[in-house]
């Protein structure tokens, strides 16, 4: 069995209330939504958010017919399910992003915001996303920028050992990575993605400033500064509009789920379980109360 890279697990965490709700991050939330709207096609068939958590951005996908909220944490997906109630467009899937449980060429749009920084092997993740991406679709990617102004200043005054100018990712805490923009572009190109328009985001992510200045003013200024993304990327967060590979298979309905182990397309679940039809695999996966659980086999 191939050993997969480690995955950051938010199972049972209070991420929603500890990091977002009531935590003074209205500015970050609003500027990220602006960037997402600028880069994401407003409507389409199938969309997946990779690392959707509790569904913070789910209402941005109202123009899509089917929306997969994908996360490693079952508990966060249950929070999303409770928040979105019975909207039939949403499909809740728990699994490992290095072994996505979907057929090839399924999604017209991919969205990944505030989660790539947990990728211990970003190239392997990009390879898997390229597999499930429908040709000529759109991938909106956000990543933590290694070459940001704060990191540069700290490096120049000797308060930081790692160089923000070197291309390789830096793990500044366990399973928390910053990435150089040029390195990200190279890894995307290596698997067939085509990096395009970039936006710089969260220019004013500085706690004292957020206390002094009205949120609405900071949001307005950030929205203007985002347009510098194609020529000057010094903000802590960068959004990128990426085109899916130009060629490859396109999923034919009703094909949707696939065994994450051997990639064999799965038939409908029976008695709350998927069973892989591949006689050399035959692994089973649980479906419980609307949650498709591919995190580990039954």
DSSP-assigned letter for residue 229: G
Contact 57, 49 (CB under 8 A): yes
Which of 3.40.50.720, 3.40.50.150, 3.10.580.10, 3.40.640.10 would CATH assign to domain 15-256? 3.40.50.150
The pLDDT of residue 144 is above 70: yes
The pLDDT of residue 1 is above 90: no
* pLDDT score recorded for residue 54: 97
Residues linked to residue 270 through DSSP beta bridges, in sequence order: 273
**Average pLDDT in the 129-143 region?**
98
Q: What percentage of the chain carries pLDDT values higher than 70?
A: 100
Q: What percentage of the chain carries pLDDT values higher than 90?
A: 98
* pLDDT score recorded for residue 2: 73
* Spatial CA neighbour of 251 closest among 126, 137, 140, 139: 137
pTM for this one?
0.97
Residues linked to residue 139 through DSSP beta bridges, in sequence order: 110, 242
pLDDT tens-digit series, residues 264-288: 999 999 999 999 999 999 999 999 9
Residue 107's CB is within 10 A of a number of other CB atoms, namely: 27
* Spatial CA neighbour of 276 closest among 293, 257, 290: 257
* Cβ-Cβ contacts under 8 Å for 174 (sequence gap 6 or more): none
| Mean pLDDT of the residues in the chain | 97
pLDDT tens-digit series, residues 157-215: 999 999 999 999 999 999 999 999 999 999 999 999 999 999 999 999 999 999 999 99
pLDDT tens-digit series, residues 32-89: 999 999 999 999 999 999 999 999 999 999 999 999 999 999 999 999 999 998 899 9
* pLDDT score recorded for residue 85: 85
The CA-atom distances, in angstroms, between 266 and each of 191, 209, 213, 255, 281 are 25, 52, 53, 8, 12
């Amino acid at each position: 069995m191939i050993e997969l890279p480690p995955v950051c697990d938010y199972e049972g965490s209070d991420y929603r209330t500890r990091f977002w709700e009531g935590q003074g991050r209205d500015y970050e939330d609003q500027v990220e939504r602006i960037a997402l709207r600028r880069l994401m096609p407003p409507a389409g068939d199938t969309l997946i958010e990779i690392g959707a958590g509790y569904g913070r951005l789910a209402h941005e996908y109202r123009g899509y017919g089917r929306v997969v909220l994908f996360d490693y944490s079952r508990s966060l997906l249950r929070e999303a399910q409770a928040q979105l109630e019975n909207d039939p467009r949403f499909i809740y899937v728990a699994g490992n992003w290095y072994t996505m449980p979907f057929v090839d060429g399924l999604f017209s749009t991919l969205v990944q915001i505030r989660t790539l920084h947990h990728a211990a092997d970003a190239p392997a993740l990009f390879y898997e996303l390229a597999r499930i991406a429908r040709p000529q679709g759109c991938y909106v990617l956000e990543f933590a920028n290694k070459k940001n102004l704060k990191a540069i200043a700290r490096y120049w005054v000797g308060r930081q050992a790692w160089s923000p100018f070197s291309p390789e990712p830096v793990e500044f805490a366990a399973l928390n990575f910053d990435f150089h923009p040029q390195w990200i572009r190279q890894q995307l190109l290596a698997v067939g993605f085509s990096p395009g328009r970039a936006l710089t985001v969260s220019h004013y992510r500085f706690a004292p400033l957020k206390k002094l200045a009205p949120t609405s003013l900071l949001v307005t200024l950030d929205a203007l500064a985002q347009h510098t993304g194609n020529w000057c990327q010094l903000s802590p967060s960068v959004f990128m509009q990426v085109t899916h590979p130009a060629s490859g298979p396109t999923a034919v309905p009703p094909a949707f789920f696939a065994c994450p182990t051997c990639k064999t397309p799965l038939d409908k679940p029976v008695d709350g379980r998927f069973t892989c039809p591949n006689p050399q695999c035959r692994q089973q996966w649980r479906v419980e109360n609307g949650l498709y659980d591919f995190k580990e086999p039954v």
